Amino acid sequence: MGQSIAIKTERGVRLRSEAAYLDVAITRDWESIPLAMEFFTDFTILRMNNCEDTHKIGIAVSELLENAVKYSGKEIIRIKLNKAEKGNTITLHVINKTNKKHARRLIARIKELNSIDSLTYYIQRMKESIKNKEESAGLGLARVYHETEAKLSVRYFRLKKLVEVTATITLQNEEE
Amino acid sequence: MNDLNVKSVSESGIEMKTEGNTIIFSGSINHPRPQVFMEPFMDAVHDNIVEKKIKEVNFDITDLRFLNSSGIREIVDWVLKMSKLPDSEKYMINFICSKQHKWQESSITTLIYLNQNYTNKVMKD
């Protein structure tokens, strides 16, 4: 078992770390996103120093948190990282409160992207995103799906009105 | 001189400017609505290129540490705007990227799929 740390920053980010596990709660605050992105990327670099594509974790953390901040209520957003005991697979979970309408849209979007290859979907979303700039770009999930090669899934906990987006990302060794 | 002449922008941790035929972005774009400052700048760049009949520009992002998906949308908009021009007015965009910022490899490679004839990616150490 690794050493645990607990930090509370002025920006409201609480960090808890064990051997290859992170559990972070952030306030619904846009400024916390780059901080969390940097922390998760640094953690991954330290834990997996032979991997060349640790930046994928930063992309996934940033885009998933942006979605959570946009669509959650006032409550905190929780983000967890688990590293598989063997191999280079990392699983990120982003959990936040949201309404049923957004949860349904998220479930539909993840179902849609899982039915198509990632590049086709990303290009499709890029072209769609410029049609109405008043709305959210809607590119974040497509970016995570394609650029990090993540497997994405979503669960909605109806009674607690919590949505959990999971991204499973396998990093490559430098020599591969 | 057929150099770009667009007013520089410094906003929310990012600087956008032009030098000669090069558009330069530096900093990090994590803003929730980067279109507020990126769109007017990119529109001015596009209009300036068309007005001066410039056939090739460089887009130097070697010092851009991060670009979120809302920022990517603004670049998509620019590339597609160029793509809609008549062939005689289209111009080449060379993305100058850094190997130090690994997100650039994957993000820019995808952007190039939008118009493979008029976009190009150059990776620098």
Does the CB of B12 have a partner CB in chain A at under 8 Å? Answer: no
B contact test, residue of A42, A122, A126 with most B CBs within 10 A: A126
Does the CB of B110 have a partner CB in chain A at under 8 Å? Answer: yes
pLDDT of res. A2 = 43
Query: Is A176 within a domain?
Result: no
Q: Which domain holds residue A13?
A: 5-170
Q: Which of A30, A37, A58 sits opposite B32 (nearest CB)?
A: A30
Does the CB of A147 have a partner CB in chain B at under 8 Å? Answer: yes
Length of chain B equals 125
What tokens were used for A30? 């846009």
C-alpha angle B57/B61/B67, rounded to 5°? 125
CA–CA separation, A126 and B12 (whole Å): 24
**For range A135-156, the mean pLDDT:** 92
Element (H, E) at B18: strand B14-19
Residue A8 CA, chain-centre distance (Å), reads 21
- Residue A165, domain CATH: 3.30.565.10
Contact B115, B82 (CB under 8 A): yes
Residues B2-13, buried b or exposed e (16+ Cβ, 10 A)? eebebeebeeee
Q: What percent of chain B has pLDDT over 90?
A: 91
Residue pLDDT, tens place only, A30-60: 888 999 999 999 989 888 877 778 899 999 9
Query: Is A175 within a domain?
Result: no
**What pTM was computed for the model?**
0.90
Contact A113, A152 (CB under 8 A): yes
In the block, tokens 């008549």 appear at: B86
The answer to whether residue A84 scores a pLDDT higher than 50 is yes
Q: Identify the residue with better confidence: B104 or A47.
A: B104
The answer to whether residue A157 scores a pLDDT higher than 90 is yes
Query: How many structural domains comprise chain A?
Result: 1
Q: Identify the residue with better confidence: A167 or A136.
A: A167
The answer to whether residue A160 scores a pLDDT higher than 80 is yes
pLDDT of res. A18 = 46
Query: Is A64 within a domain?
Result: yes
CA–CA separation, A21 and A161 (whole Å): 25
- The answer for residues whose C-beta is within 8 angstroms of residue A77's C-beta and 6 or more apart is A25, A26, A27, A28, A65, A68, A69, A94, A95, A96
- The answer for residues whose C-beta is within 8 angstroms of residue B43's C-beta and 6 or more apart is none
Closest residue in A to B80 (Cα) is A127
Question: Where do the domains of chain B lie?
Answer: 9-124
* Inter-chain CB proximity B76 and A126 less than 8 Å: yes
The answer to whether residue B68 scores a pLDDT higher than 80 is yes
Query: Is A47 within a domain?
Result: yes
Least confident of A71-75, A98-102, B3-7, B55-59: A71-75
Does the CB of B35 have a partner CB in chain A at under 8 Å? Answer: yes
- The answer for residues whose C-beta is within 8 angstroms of residue A104's C-beta and 6 or more apart is A156
Contact B13, B65 (CB under 8 A): no
CATH for B9-124, options being 2.40.50.100, 3.30.750.24, 2.60.120.330, 3.40.190.10:
3.30.750.24
Contact B7, B43 (CB under 8 A): no
CA–CA separation, A161 and A103 (whole Å): 9
Query: Is A15 within a domain?
Result: yes
- In this predicted complex, what is the ipTM? 0.93
C-alpha angle A34/A172/B59, rounded to 5°? 55
Does the CB of A171 have a partner CB in chain B at under 8 Å? Answer: no
CA–CA separation, A137 and A128 (whole Å): 8
Contact B124, B97 (CB under 8 A): yes
Of the pLDDT bands very low, low, confident and very high (cuts 50, 70, 90), residue B1 is low
The answer to whether residue A133 scores a pLDDT higher than 90 is no
CA–CA separation, A28 and A30 (whole Å): 7
